[in-house]
Structures are given as C-alpha cells and as structure tokens.
Amino acid sequence: MTSSTPEAISPNRNKRFQVLAGAILVQLILGTVYGYSIFWEPLTANIFPTIITEAQQITSGSENIHPDTIIVKDEIALNVELAKQQGILKYAFSICILSFATVMVIAGRVQDVKGPTIPAVIGGLLMGTGFIYAGLMTNAIVFYLAHALFAGVVTLLILMLFDTFLGHLDKESVIVRYTPMGIMTTCIVASIMLGNQYVGKVAELDRLLLLWGTIGFMAGAGIGFAYVCPIAALVKWFPEQKGLVSGIAVAGFGLGAYLFSQKWGALGYISQQGIFPFFIMHGVICIVGITIGAMMLCNPPSTETVQQQKILPDSTWQETLKDPAFYLLWLMFFSGAMAGLMVIGIIKVFAGEQLVIAASEAGRILTATEKSDIMLKGAAAVGLLAIFNAVGRIVWGFLSDKIGRTATFVAMFSLQAGVMFFLAGMKTEATLSIGAALVGFNFGGNFALFPSATADFFGAKHLGANYGWVFTAYGIAGVVGIAAGNFAKVLTGSYAAAFTLAACLCLLSAGLAIVLQRMHKKNTSDKR
C-alpha cells in the first residue's frame, strides 16, 4: 500500500498492520454493546413479576398462580405492561451509551498523553468487571457491595465539594479541620441505616439499579476508555486513508453484535445457560480479549504528516470547542446516531412484533407458542443489522476517501432518512430484513466518517480529545433515541412517530454537511 507518511514511519511499516489487527480485536469486543436488545426478554422474566391476562388466570386456576403475578384485562393491556417493563430495562442501554460518550472525553485526553495501550486496558477491566458484577446479582452480598461503593462515591463527592468551597479557609479553623470527619461519619451512618432498610428488600428496584450501574454505567465507561484508542492510533499510522482504516477498525464494533444474535453465539448460550451465567462469561472475555488487543496498539514515531503541516495546524480541544465547525459536526452526529440507536435498542422486539401484527391482520389466531416462535424471528434482523453495520463502516469510509466527506455525508444521511420514513410500515420478513440492513449500513458509516472529519478539521495530534467531544453527541443521542422510541410506543402503540422525527433530523444533517464543506474550504484558504 502506497502512503505519503513521514520517513520516520517507514522502518515500522509492518508495525501498522499489527496495530490494525489489535484495533479490530478491541473493537470487536466493544461492539457487543449493540447486541443489548437480546437481554431484555430474559431479564424481564428474571426481574419483574409475570404478567397474565384474566383469561389466562381462569385457564390456569388461581391456586396455580404466584401471588406476585400481575393480572391484566386482555392482550392489549398485557403488551402495554410488557412495553413499560422492557422500556425501563432499556435505559441500561441508554446509560451505557451516555457513559460511553462522556468518559470518552476523558479517555481521549489520556490517550493523547499516555498512548493507546493504558486507556484500552483500563476500558477492558471496567467493561468486564461490569458484566461479571451483573452476573452475580443473585447473590445478596453483591447488593451490599454495590451499596457500599455508591455510598463511598457520594461521600467522596461531598468531600470534594467541601474542599472546593471551604478548603481555602484557615487550616487551623475548627470547621476546616473537623467537618470532613463529620461528613464521613454522617455518610457511614446513613449508608448503614439505608442498607439495612432497603438493600435486598425491594428486589425489582435493587436489580434495576444494579443493571443500570453495571452493564449500563461501568460497561459504558469501559467502552469509552477503549474505543477511541484504536481509531486515534490508526489515523496516525494511515494519514492518507483515514476513512478506510477507521472504517475497517470500527467494522469490528459492528460485527460484535452479530455474535450476540446467533444461536451459536450469545443468544444460544443465554437460552441454554441463562442470562446471569452469560454475563459472567462475557465479562471474562472482555477483560482477556481487550487486554490482548490493547497490547498490540501503539503510536507511530511521528504523527505529523506533510499535508497537515501545509494546510491546517492541530487544534487543542479548547480551540476545537470555539470553532463553529465543531457544533455542526456535533449536530450531524447526533442525528445519525439517534436514528441508528433507536432501532438498535429495539430491533429484535420490534421486528418480532411487526411479524405478529402481520399474522393477526392476515386473520391468524396465534397460540402463545406460535407467537413466541414468531417473536424469535426478530433475532434475524439483529444479525443483519450487525453485519451491515460493519459493512457500512468500511464502504462509507472508503467512499469518503474517494469522493469526499461531504458527498458521502449527504448520500448516507439521505438514504437513512428514506429508510426511517418507511420502517414502521414494514411487516414481512423480507422488508424488515432489508430495513434493518439499511439502518445498520448507514448507521455504521457515522463511525468511519466522523473521526475522519474530525481529523480533517482539527488535526490528528489531539484527535483523542477532539473526537471525544464530538462523540458526546452519540451519548445524548442514545438517551434521546431510546426515550423517544419508548414514549412513542407507550403513547401510540407504534414507533412510527419516533422514526419520522429521526428521519427529519437526518435530512437536516444532509444539509448541514454542505454548510460544513463551505466552512472547511474557507478555513483552508485562510490558512494557506
């Protein structure tokens, strides 16, 4: 492969392919976050009381029904209750995405200073520990440890606030000397009292909070630490093929969800062993796999290319936040991420429900077993979305290097808007498969184009920190997308309104890409 990289990189030419291999391995494991939709059904059965209709109550007999069972009037009411339960669980995915994006701001700076290996290893440990912790939630001691950790964090935050506002006072002051001890004593006593009163006695709330804190916050923080490292390293090793190598690396992120959606993968393991043993197994894989990949990452001897020296200087993150181009990039990323994450978070259940609706409209009267079998077909959409998510990262990244970022952005956002407008009306296996594939294909392009565009505008030297700030759009999109989808589903019984909103935002982003190109041309001419 021909490249105009500096001579300092030539002796290490083969090293960059080792970095590429490590990047793919790390991203492959991190990408399993996109398979979260397969968790909701088994977790619902393990966390919430069973829901049955009045007709099922009569059939089963009152003496055979558990006292905690929720009884509703009919199938419509049952579906509404299930939607509410799974909607609450889905916020673990939203928290994960938000934590991912927020922590990446910090991790990007660490990566710029310490290199890619250290933050990637930290990320693997955090992600793996989060899943292992979630897998042990059937043990009461786990809840007490989680409660103690939470109390410790709260105590630390209070002490930090005290030091911020009162730490400048005379050190001999009684307040300054003894108040921290009082704060710690108060927090310890309050923690013990609350622990004895609530921990382990409100099962649903306990497990929900633990899930949000583990596969939500901890796993998301781990992904945030590790995600930016492979991308930042590769952009420095392959400065002339930023779009392509970014796409190849993050294609692993897209393929990670495919492993979850297969019967020979996570889906099959969960059906045979259960959700909690799977969490433990996956946690171990995260720690080992990401650590191995992290050891293969490194920065090249020089990160400045001839092109960068001639056209645009590297911007620090402070300078980036003052540039209007940053905010256009941010809004574009938000729109594209919201559309994709909304579908990713619900695709298995959504596809299954659409097939059930189609069968009912055709006049079929489904038994509980038949309905369950049809719902399982939704897993096929998860797999297709994951595969095309990976393919889209490579294809859109390659195209952006050939035809330019702007044309690629416009094409990708326009296509995604069209798919989102029609998605709610798809009710056959064929159309749902095509819809899921196209959503994944376009969504994947975001992760090849936006790091490349960030490097184009602000340079590669501080890409970790700069892209970390751009990536906050992804975190907020995760929360807004899931919330919009849940709200539309509960209020209208359909995701159509939320899909339409996402489509409009994608069209807006296509227009913003053109504005961004003009801004880039002006900045480039001014710097020459």
What does the DSSP assignment read for 448-517?
HHHHHHHHHHH-STTHHHHHHHHTHHHHHHHHHHHHHHHHHHHHHSSSHHHHHHHHHHHHHHHHHHHHHH
The per-residue pLDDT for 152 is 79
Q: Is the pLDDT of residue 411 over 90?
A: yes
Q: Rounded CA gap, 197 and 305, in Å?
A: 61
Q: Is the pLDDT of residue 90 over 90?
A: no
Report the range out of 41-50, 72-81, 192-201, 479-488 with the highest average pLDDT. 479-488
The per-residue pLDDT for 66 is 59
CATH code of 16-527, in short, is 1.20.1250.20
Confidence of residue 186 (pLDDT cuts 50, 70, 90): confident
**Average model confidence (pLDDT) across the chain:** 78
Q: Rounded CA gap, 62 and 291, in Å?
A: 53
Amino acid at 27: Q
Summarize the confidence of residues 323-346 as an average pLDDT.
85
* pTM of structure: 0.68
How many other CB atoms are found less than 10 A from the CB of residue 273?
A: 12
Contacts 24+ apart (CB under 8 A), 258-261: 258/35, 258/383, 258/386, 258/387, 258/390, 259/32, 259/35, 260/32, 260/34, 260/35, 260/38, 260/382, 260/386, 261/35, 261/38, 261/348, 261/379, 261/380, 261/382, 261/383, 261/386
The per-residue pLDDT for 336 is 85
Angle at 31 between CA 336 and CA 102, to 5 degrees: 60
pLDDT tens figures, 466-524 = 888 888 888 788 778 878 877 877 787 777 888 888 888 899 989 988 988 887 676 65
pLDDT tens figures, 253-300 = 767 767 766 677 777 788 788 888 988 999 999 999 999 999 998 888
pLDDT tens figures, 478-488 = 778 878 877 87
As given in the structure block, the two tokens for residue 163 are 């030091």
The burial of 57, by beta-carbon neighbours within 10 Å (0-12 exposed, 13-18 middle, 19 or more buried), is given as: middle
- Which of 229-233, 301-305, 372-376, 461-465 shows the lowest per-residue confidence on average (mean pLDDT)? 301-305
Rounded to the nearest 10 degrees, the angle between the axes of helix 219-237 and helix 275-295 is 30
Q: Where are the domains of the chain?
A: 16-527
Q: Is the pLDDT of residue 368 over 60?
A: yes
φ and ψ of 378, to 5 deg: -60, -25
Confidence of residue 70 (pLDDT cuts 50, 70, 90): low
Higher pLDDT, 174 or 336: 336
